[in-house]
Amino acid sequence: MTMIDKLVVCGVGLIGGSFALALREAGLVRRVVGIGRTRAALDRAQALGVIDEVAGGWADALDGADFVLLAAPVGQMDAIMQAMAPYLGDDTVVTDAGSTKRDVIEAIYRNFGDRLANVVPAHPIAGAEKTGAEAAFASLYRERKVVLTPLPENEPSAVLRVREVWEACGAAVQEVPPHDHDRIFAAVSHLPHLLAFGLVHDLAERANAEQLFGFAASGFRDFTRIAGSSPEMWRDICIANRQPLLAELDQYLAELAYLRALLLSADGEQLERLFAEARDARLVWGERFRSDPGSVQ
């Protein structure tokens, strides 16, 4: 693949930082320029060798840039695009790492309406509850999925470029319509995060929280791991994707209402059948995920 001469990463945290480290390790980038909200974070990223330099501003950052990754919380995407739009060159390929796509795409149309050819929305399915450039590592995307939700206006060459860059990071790339993307991730990612945050919050507010947490064990540890995630990032995801998320939450509330009825009537037979169906589905999925976490459906 052609070398990236100047890579611009907006948001040098776990996602943006790992992207830069992966391309650097692959020897596919000459210069990594960082830009973001807080100077301290950018300086830290530079000190860690995640980026080579800190941009003075968007004019400076985009001057001669051939590839831009927007890796900020989705709630900031609109403002970021507004700030960069005046300086965006015609040949610069732009993509994002937003966990939601409908809202990011709306921001793209609002801010880049006149040159949509090279702005390709995407979502790398990777992360950790750790945040910041300190948490970044080159292999984060290895065997992970990256979903592209291309626009009708995108140049095929730009979509191909974004695909090959992510593949160079070790990811398995696939294309999905934006609305399908947002519904799928509301179900398998956004809802579980909401449920985990909710359970820990519920217990943390109890008078006997200390006692409860004192007896929580490894099942609780794994169930609530994602409640250690970034509150700001998840606020933005929940707000941006709230319609599909509400639909998933309501379907889950119906499931819980059914479970509640089985408990009330002490219907052990139906409970066991439901648990067995869940167990079987979970074991089949677990095997497949273990054998190939990046497997493309």
Q: Which of residues 189-218 bind a copy of itself (CB under 8 A)?
A: 189, 191-206, 208-218
Torsion of CA 227, 233, 234, 237, to 10 degrees: -150
Interface residue with a copy of itself, options 30, 110, 179, 225 (CB under 8 A)? 225
Q: Which of residues 145-184 bind a copy of itself (CB under 8 A)?
A: 145, 147, 180, 184
Stretch of 7-15, 52-60, 119-127, 153-161 lying at the interface with a copy of itself (CB under 8 A)? 119-127
CB of 172 to a copy of itself, least distance (A): 11
Looking at beta carbons only, is 65 or 107 nearer to a copy of itself? 107
Interface residue with a copy of itself, options 11, 127, 150, 170 (CB under 8 A)? 127
Looking at beta carbons only, is 151 or 191 nearer to a copy of itself? 191
Stretch of 80-88, 104-112, 153-161, 232-240 lying at the interface with a copy of itself (CB under 8 A)? 232-240
CB of 73 to a copy of itself, least distance (A): 11
2 binds a copy of itself per the rule CB under 8 A: no
- Helical segments of 228-267, H only: 231-240, 242-264
Q: Which has the closest alpha carbon to 36: 141, 139, 142, 132?
A: 132
Q: Which are the contacts of 225, defined by CB distance < 8 A and separation ≥ 6?
A: 129, 196
**Distance in angstroms (rounded) separating the CA atoms of residues 237 and 246:** 12
Stretch of 86-94, 112-120, 161-169, 256-264 lying at the interface with a copy of itself (CB under 8 A)? 256-264
91 binds a copy of itself per the rule CB under 8 A: no
Strand order of the sheet with strand 145-148? 122-125, 145-148, 172-175
CB of 3 to a copy of itself, least distance (A): 30
279 binds a copy of itself per the rule CB under 8 A: yes
Q: Which of residues 60-89 bind a copy of itself (CB under 8 A)?
A: 75
121 touches 95 (CB < 8 A) = yes
Half-sphere exposure of 78 toward its Cβ, with a 13 Å CA cutoff? 10
Helix (H) or strand (E) holding 146: strand 145-148
232 binds a copy of itself per the rule CB under 8 A: yes
Interface residue with a copy of itself, options 22, 125, 140, 158 (CB under 8 A)? 125
150 touches 159 (CB < 8 A) = yes
Interface residue with a copy of itself, options 44, 52, 139, 224 (CB under 8 A)? 224
Looking at beta carbons only, is 114 or 205 nearer to a copy of itself? 205
102 binds a copy of itself per the rule CB under 8 A: no
CB of 240 to a copy of itself, least distance (A): 10
DSSP string, 76-111: GHHHHHHHHGGG--TT-EEEE--S-SHHHHHHHHHH
Q: How many CB atoms lie within 10 A of CB 185?
A: 23
Stretch of 95-103, 109-117, 134-142, 229-237 lying at the interface with a copy of itself (CB under 8 A)? 229-237
19 touches 70 (CB < 8 A) = no
**Distance in angstroms (rounded) separating the CA atoms of residues 38 and 43:** 9
112 binds a copy of itself per the rule CB under 8 A: no
